[in-house]
């Protein structure tokens, strides 16, 4: 006979033995506890997803670096946003700068603010490289009057809110996953920021009323394996040598479609190896400086048959001038509320220096400035994203933007080294 056979069909009349009763009370209390904790866990999961910065399926990707939840909103937050974006000069523009705590973003934001434009920064402060450098740039921006909202460009609720609070006339879109080699370690971070993030931003821009004009950073890396130099905007760009390059090329095509369908004014800037104070620790000129000072050997790549690897190094101040000129010459978007009203401007410019320098010469300049001999480790150029040379034809930018780079590599590196020595003499560690 099974124990279930003892239980009568009318439970209220059944008098349970004491041990069975205690057993049942304990069982019921366990069920209550289980239900309670299940509700707590379920609630926490719901809150997490509700507050998650990204609505993209990639947002749950654990390989992506440092995407957490951000706090934004509320009257005092909105007040800071408004005040930062307030235009203070006649004919000034109000610009949302994405990637504002990044290298180029910081310089562009300061330059805009100084001439009286309204500037609001947005950055997710990810840990692709030393976050304290990004925080120090943020502090610099705060001192200049630029508020940097902490958030991800995939967070469309945040972007919509920003456009509700400020009718930005322009967006300077610099947020991206940069670097070519890191793509082998974390490919989805490139898709997240450079593809999904760009679409998320353009979606909000196309629905904004008025639609802003957008200037954004593509890259010289779109020229990929091209051998005809100097690289010109009319050249083919269908042989990217890295996932980074492929996402920038993809970005240019996405820009084309949003311009075509929604009338968004879009200008893509192909930057050529930008360097300077507050630069990026993952770039060669930066970590060469660190490693030469530490007495560590530095890898200098050469191509097949001892071919020279050269870069068209472009000083940050020249890039900033090109960015501001692009914003100033950008025509208005033609759509409104997600509807196109007529054809809109679509441009792509090379922003380079037009004088490629072999990487070994870069090292010689650094040796002189640092007064330390480098330990050079000559290596074959790996086939993991880097190309042998870059060289910009800038005649289009010269003609349309009045772009004219004025800083040569020795002059620019001198300024970088001065900043580096000063910054890292304050007890900070120069780890990438
Ligand atoms: N520096 C160069 O030599 C160079 C060359 C070609 C193109 N570019 C492009 O120029 C732009 C700026 O480059 P940089 O050198 O200043 O790089 P950076 O890494 O210093 O700046 C990018 C900033 O964007 C932020 N960011 C990244 N993903 C984000 C996201 N999903 N949401 C919000 N913020 C995000 C990062 O935290 C970072 O502060 C990038 O688009 C880069 O691809 C740079």
| Minimum-distance ligand 1 atom for the alpha carbon of 280 | 20
Q: Which residues constitute the domain of residue 136?
A: 75-272+314-352+390-406
| Minimum-distance ligand 1 atom for the alpha carbon of 153 | 32
Q: How far is the CA of 406 from the centre of ligand 1 (A)?
A: 23
Specify if 226 maps to a domain: yes
Q: How far is the CA of 103 from the centre of ligand 1 (A)?
A: 7
- What domain count does the chain have? 1
Q: Which of 130, 252, 271 most suits a substitution to test ligand 1, by most atoms within 8 Å of the C-beta?
A: 271
Q: Give CA angle at 272 (238, 65), nearest 5°.
A: 80
Q: How far is the CA of 32 from the centre of ligand 1 (A)?
A: 51
**Per-residue pLDDT reduced to its tens digit, 183-233:** 999 999 999 999 999 999 999 999 999 999 999 999 999 999 999 999 999
Q: How far is the CA of 174 from the centre of ligand 1 (A)?
A: 5
| Minimum-distance ligand 1 atom for the alpha carbon of 218 | 7
Rounded distance between C-alpha atoms, residue 270 and residue 346, angstroms: 14
Specify if 163 maps to a domain: yes
Distance of CA 349 to the CA centre of its chain: 19
- The conformation of residue 220, written as its DSSP 8-state character, comes to G
**Closest C-alpha residue for ligand 1 atom 39:** 102
Specify if 12 maps to a domain: no
Question: Catalytic residue numbers?
Answer: 244
The pocket around ligand 1, CB under 6 angstroms, is made up of 98-99, 101-105, 123-126, 134, 152-154, 174-178, 193, 197, 217, 219, 271, 273-274, 280
**Per-residue pLDDT reduced to its tens digit, 299-326:** 999 988 788 899 999 999 999 999 999 9
Three-class SS of 79-112: HHHHHHHCCCCCCCCEEEEECCCCHHHHHHHHHH
Q: Which of 72, 134, 174, 220 most suits a substitution to test ligand 1, by most atoms within 8 Å of the C-beta?
A: 174
Specify if 227 maps to a domain: yes
Q: How far is the CA of 193 from the centre of ligand 1 (A)?
A: 9
Specify if 241 maps to a domain: yes
Rounded distance between C-alpha atoms, residue 329 and residue 398, angstroms: 13
Rounded distance between C-alpha atoms, residue 19 and residue 29, angstroms: 15
**Per-residue pLDDT reduced to its tens digit, 51-79:** 434 333 333 343 334 445 689 999 999 99
The count of residues in the chain is 432
Q: How far is the CA of 269 from the centre of ligand 1 (A)?
A: 13
Could you read off the pLDDT tens digit of each residue along the chain, which spans 432 residues?
333 333 333 333 323 333 433 344 344 555 555 555 555 545 444 443 344 343 333 333 433 344 456 899 999 999 999 999 999 999 999 999 999 999 999 999 999 999 999 999 999 999 999 999 999 999 999 999 999 999 999 999 999 999 999 999 999 999 999 999 999 999 999 999 999 999 999 999 999 999 999 999 999 999 999 999 999 999 999 999 999 999 999 999 999 999 999 999 999 999 999 999 999 999 999 999 999 999 999 999 998 878 889 999 999 999 999 999 999 999 999 998 788 999 999 999 999 999 999 999 999 999 999 999 999 999 998 887 788 989 999 999 999 999 999 999 999 999 999 999 999 998 777 765
Specify if 323 maps to a domain: yes
Which CATH number is 213's domain given? 3.40.50.720
Specify if 421 maps to a domain: no
CA distances from 192 to 21, 32, 70, 106, 387 (A): 57, 42, 17, 22, 24
- Please tell me the pTM assigned to this model: 0.86
Specify if 143 maps to a domain: yes
The residues with which 132 forms a beta bridge, in sequence order, are none
């Amino acid at each position: 006979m099974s124990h279930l056979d003892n239980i009568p069909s009318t439970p209220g009349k059944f008098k349970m033995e004491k041990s069975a009763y205690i057993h049942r009370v304990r069982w019921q209390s366990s069920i209550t506890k289980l239900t309670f904790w299940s509700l707590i866990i379920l609630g926490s999961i719901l809150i997490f997803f509700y507050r998650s910065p990204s609505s993209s399926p990639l947002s749950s990707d654990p390989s992506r670096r440092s995407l957490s939840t951000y706090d934004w909103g509320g009257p005092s937050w909105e007040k800071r946003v408004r005040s930062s974006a307030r235009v203070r000069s006649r004919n000034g523009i109000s610009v949302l700068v994405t990637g504002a705590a990044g290298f180029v973003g910081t310089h562009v934001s300061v330059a805009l603010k100084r001439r009286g434009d309204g500037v609001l920064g947005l950055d997710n402060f990810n840990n692709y490289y030393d976050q304290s450098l990004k925080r120090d740039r943020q502090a610099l921006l705060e001192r200049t009057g630029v508020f940097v909202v902490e958030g991800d460009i995939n967070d469309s609720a945040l972007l919509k809110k920003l456009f509700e609070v400020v009718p930005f006339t322009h967006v300077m879109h610099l947020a991206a996953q940069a670097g070519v080699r890191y793509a082998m370690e974390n490919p989805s971070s490139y898709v997240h920021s450079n593809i999904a993030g760009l679409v998320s931003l353009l979606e909000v821009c196309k629905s904004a009323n008025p639609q802003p004009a957008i200037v954004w950073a593509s890259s010289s890396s779109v020229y990929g394996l091209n051998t005809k130099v100097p690289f010109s905007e009319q050249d083919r760009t269908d042989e990217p040598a890295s996932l980074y390059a492929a996402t920038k090329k993809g970005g240019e095509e996405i820009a084309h479609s949003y311009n075509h369908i929604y009338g968004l004014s879009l200008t893509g800037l192909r930057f050529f190896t930008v360097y300077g104070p507050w630069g990026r620790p993952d770039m060669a000129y930066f970590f060469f400086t660190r490693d030469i000072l530490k007495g560590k050997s530095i890898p200098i790549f050469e191509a097949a048959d001892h071919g020279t690897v050269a870069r068209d190094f472009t000083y940050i101040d020249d890039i900033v001038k090109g960015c501001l000129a692009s914003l100033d010459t950008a025509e208005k978007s033609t759509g409104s509320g997600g509807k196109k009203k007529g054809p809109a401007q679509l441009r792509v410019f090379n922003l380079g220096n037009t004088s490629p320098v072999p990487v070994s010469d870069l090292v010689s300049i650094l040796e002189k400035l640092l007064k330390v001999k480098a330990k050079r480790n000559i290596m074959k150029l790996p086939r993991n994203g880097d190309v042998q040379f870059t060289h910009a034809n800038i005649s289009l930018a010269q003609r349309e933007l009045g772009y004219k780079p004025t800083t040569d590599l020795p002059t620019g590196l001198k300024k970088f080294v001065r900043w580096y020595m000063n910054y890292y003499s304050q007890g900070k560690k120069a780890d990438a």
